[in-house]
A and B are shown apart, each in its own frame.
Chain A
Amino acid sequence: MTSDPDQTLVERCQSSSGADFDEAYRQIFALYQDRVYNTCFRVTGNANDALDAAQETMVIIARRISGFAFRSKFSSWVYRIAINAAIDIRRKRMGAPRSGVATIVGVVDGTEMMQQVADETPQAEPHQQLVANENQQLIQSALSDMNSKFAAILVLRYIEGLSYDEIADAQECTLGTVKSRLNRAHHSLREFLESRGFDSTLLT
């Protein structure tokens, strides 16, 4: 792929070592840390798991960047690693008590549920930006509740703003799979929101 905006930076990383590598990698880290963390947070649904997944992602990037061959966009590769790390951690946590915002279903019984989360996980202090609004809390609950692949595709498409091609690259699937998976993710999100009393006029 010739038009990768990260090509120069990635090649700098690939051709350097020692302190030069550290410096080049630090730039890549700065460029991607928020996107990676945000993606991991939305898929895992809580800050602790997001931090673990984001850390895993950035370490993998540092270890494997020398072998990156630009067969896809660098950003797609980064998202692929992030999504895989997040889904992996989410699977490992399956069955274990959840922590963080994922368990906040504010619109059902806002005050009580917030208190419950605080009691269960006193160390998992909600990020300041997470307390956005009830709709977003509910959408986050939906992402945490639905099939992890559906959650991932919604995050990549709407929160991270990737094109269909980029999503296909990131998820290593065909364009047709992206479209059908996205449709099913829409359906799943709608169902969840309707069942939790999301403002029905906004769903029409």
Chain B
Amino acid sequence: MTDSHTSSELPQQVIAELQEMGGLQAPPELWEGVSSQLIADKLAPKQAPDKLWDGVHARLIEEGVASKPTRIFGLQPIYAAAAALLIVLGVAFQLDWSGSSSIYSPQLAPVMSDSAKAEIRSHVVFVEVQAHEMSGASQSLAAALGGVSSEVVR
């Protein structure tokens, strides 16, 4: 498609009318508005660049007015962040690994023999309590701690 081809799709009279519509002159108010806006731009408070503080602070340190910023472990922030990330990853890995390994699973204490229980009981001041005097939870706890039966707990 060429320029002339597309132009032919609009009647010549219409094109001629359109072409005559191009002679508008900008009103003087345009320059007034633009120039006042540009002046306002120049007068507007400028935002300080990020580096301003670095420069000022460095100079204050030189003059002894400000002290050097303390850094954790004396590291640059990027190294500190990397170290923290490694620690987090290490802990996460440890937890995950220990969960899947039986070596690090907590071992339950072996159930005591009757003779061992008797030995322990001999060293303990005991109070005899009837089973029916205890609540259900107390009975369970007593049994877990080696209570002989529902009749007597030492």
Contacts and interface: CB of A to CB of B under 8 A. Distances in A.
Contacts of B15: 158
A186 B10 contact: yes
Given A51-B27, A62-B34, A204 B22 contact: no
A127 B25 CA distance: 9
B37 interface: yes
A179 interface: yes
Interface in A49-84: 51, 54-55, 58-59, 62-63
Interface residues of A, number: 43
B20 to A, nearest CB: 7
Interface stretch (B1-9, B73-81, B85-93): B1-9
Interface string A174-204: 0000010011001001100100000100111
Interface in A111-132: 127, 129-130, 132
B20 A183 contact: no
Interface string B2-30: 01001001110111011111111111011
Contacts of B9: 183, 186
Interface in A3-34: 29, 33-34
Contact of A37 (B10, B19, B30): B30
Contacts of B25: 34, 37, 129
Nearest to B1: A179
A164 B5 CA distance: 12
B20 A33 contact: no
B24 A127 contact: yes
Interface residues of B, number: 28
A147 interface: no
**Dominant SS at the A interface?**
helix
Contacts of B38: 59, 62
Contacts of A203: 11, 13-14
A190 B3 contact: no
Contacts of A136: 17, 20-21
Contacts of A193: 14
A140 B21 contact: yes
Given A58-B30, A179-B1, A190-B10, A158 B18 contact: yes
Given A59-B37, A183-B6, A33 B18 contact: no
- Sort A-B residue pairs by CB-CB distance and give the 7 closest, nearest first: A37-B26, A158-B18, A202-B13, A33-B26, A38-B24, A55-B33, A58-B34
21 contacts: A34-B26, A36-B26, A37-B26, A38-B21, A38-B22, A47-B27, A54-B30, A55-B30, A58-B30, A58-B34, A63-B41, A132-B21, A136-B17, A139-B17, A139-B18, A158-B19, A159-B18, A160-B22, A163-B3, A186-B9, A189-B14
